[in-house]
């Protein structure tokens, strides 16, 4: 255990606490079992190290990586038990999806060491837990998305701009220093290289490409028990989607092109969505969510489009995927029969500066909005796209 403690203390010493993600203050850190999920690269590790550094007694806490060499000859439960006997109070386990049968061991820790708090991080695909132990009644689960535009601006300009409700945004009531900053330029930079917290890295695109490969070649296959052939088909699928989003699902054609068995493709799509690579926009329905018909498929955020697209991504697609990524945090978004999106009974059509309200003419004007990419100010139910980046 000494080597684990030494590595943990070294990481803790180097952890910067200048900027804290919005989700931190929404987490019940006193819960006995907390699951922090999210795709690779969104900042889960940094958040828990920041929390230890700012709010815990570091000597009564321990952070470990689930794929540490230590676990080649030690069980996770044994570590937890030894740590608890030595006065440990909080155990943080990072990337738990890399530990075989992890849910069984977490259940044993929860049941047999009731005074030890556990926080674990993992791929967002873990909320599809299959087999092992059922932790649903024990854990509190949170999902960390990528940076919002607001968080990106706060980091790049050392500011403390606050998030706003959807009501505030629809009224154009956003606290933003327009005299000092130009939101359209900031939005353009963010949509290309700002969704992930490592955006300041010189090799941002290469690193993001590496993350996407890890998700497709390791995270999903490990969870779904894919073989090499299935992995290759999954890679081809995400590449094909990147060249054609927003994609109107034609499963029969994709199944033929990829040589995938019937009824397998929806599973591939669902896994890619849960892994944070694509967004599936369902048709509006009152039925069971898993049975909803998918209207369109988007890449999860524009940074992925810039990384995977063989040519310059379509600007309209980038706008729509950005709006969808933001609004999927805390809201249920469905397709609209007359426009792009519907949220809480409100209709949204996304476009550029010249976008008209023609498609919304038959709707109640008080419940239908045009979201425009190339304007700074809200006017007459036309809302700037950048303002929705303040939703979290």
Q: What is the mean pLDDT of each run of 10 residues along the chain (392 residues)?
A: 94 97 97 96 97 97 96 96 97 93 94 97 77 83 97 97 97 93 97 97 95 94 90 93 86 86 87 95 73 88 94 93 97 96 97 93 95 95 97 98
pLDDT of residue 11: 97
| Residues forming CATH 3.40.50.300 domain(s) in the chain | 2-143
Beta partners for 143? 37
> Residue 337 class from Cβ within 10 Å (0-12 exposed, 13-18 middle, 19+ buried)?
exposed
φ, ψ for residue 244, nearest 5 deg: -135, 10
Q: What is residue 255's predicted lDDT score, i.e. its pLDDT? A: 87
What's the CA gap between 177 and 173, in Å, rounded? 12
For residue 67, give the nearest of 98, 93, 91, 37 by alpha carbon. 98
**Number of CB atoms found within 10 A of residue 261's CB:** 8
pLDDT at residue 134 in the model: 83
Q: 235: which residues sit within 8 A by CB, 6+ positions away?
A: 216, 217
**pTM across the whole model:** 0.92
pLDDT at 247 (0 to 100) = 83
Beta-carbon-side half-sphere exposure of residue 204 (alpha carbons within 13 Å): 18
pLDDT of residue 125: 85
**Beta strands 278-282 and 90-94, pairing class:** unpaired
Half-sphere exposure of 208 (CA within 13 A, CB side): 26
- Strand ranges, E, within the chain: 33-37, 61-65, 90-94, 117-122, 140-143, 278-282, 294-299, 333-335, 341-343, 346-351, 368-372, 382-384
Joined tokens for residue 94: 């990072």
Task: Give residue 303's pLDDT.
Answer: 98
The verdict on whether omega for the bond into residue 35 sits within 30 degrees of 0, i.e. cis, is no
CATH superfamily of 2-143: P-loop containing nucleotide triphosphate hydrolases (3.40.50.300)
| 239 touches 177 (CB < 8 A) | no
Query: In this predicted structure, what is the pLDDT of residue 188?
Result: 97
């Amino acid at each position: 255990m000494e080597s684990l403690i030494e590595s943990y203390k070294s990481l803790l010493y180097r952890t910067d606490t200048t900027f804290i993600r919005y989700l931190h203050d929404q987490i019940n850190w006193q819960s006995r079992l907390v699951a922090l999920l999210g795709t690779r690269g969104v900042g889960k590790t940094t958040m828990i190290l920041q929390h230890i550094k700012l709010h815990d007694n570091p000597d009564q806490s321990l952070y470990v990586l689930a794929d540490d060499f230590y676990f080649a000859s030690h069980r996770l439960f044994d570590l937890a038990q030894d740590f608890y006997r030595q006065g440990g109070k909080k155990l943080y386990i990072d990337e738990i999806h890399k530990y075989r049968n992890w849910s069984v061991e977490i259940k044993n820790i929860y049941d047999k060491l009731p005074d030890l708090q556990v926080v674990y991080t993992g791929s967002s695909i873990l909320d599809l837990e299959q087999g092992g132990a059922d932790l649903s009644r024990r854990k509190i689960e949170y999902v960390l998305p990528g940076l919002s535009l607001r968080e990106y601006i706060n980091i790049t300009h050392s500011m403390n701009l606050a998030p706003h409700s959807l009501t505030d945004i629809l009224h154009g009531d956003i606290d933003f220093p327009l005299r000092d900053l130009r939101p359209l330029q900031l939005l353009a930079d963010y949509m290309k290289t700002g969704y992930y917290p490592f955006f300041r890295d010189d090799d941002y695109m290469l690193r993001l490409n590496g993350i996407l490969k890890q998700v497709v070649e390791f995270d999903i296959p490990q969870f779904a028990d894919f073989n090499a052939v299935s992995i290759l088909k999954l890679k081809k699928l995400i590449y094909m989607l990147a060249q054609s989003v927003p994609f109107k699902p034609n499963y029969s054609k994709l199944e033929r092109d990829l040589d995938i068995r019937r009824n397998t493709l929806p599973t591939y799509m669902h896994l890619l969505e849960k892994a944070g690579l694509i967004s599936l926009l369902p048709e509006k329905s009152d039925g069971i969510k898993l049975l909803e018909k998918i209207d369109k498929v988007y890449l999860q955020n524009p940074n992925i489009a810039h990384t995977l697209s063989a040519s310059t991504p379509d600007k309209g697609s980038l706008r729509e995927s950005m709006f969808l990524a933001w609004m999927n945090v805390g809201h249920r978004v469905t397709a609209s029969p007359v426009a792009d999106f519907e949220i809480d009974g409100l209709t949204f059509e996304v476009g550029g500066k010249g976008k008209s309200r023609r498609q919304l003419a038959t709707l109640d004007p008080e419940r239908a909005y045009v979201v425009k990419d190339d304007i700074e100010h809200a006017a007459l139910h036309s809302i700037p796209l950048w303002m929705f980046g303040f939703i979290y």
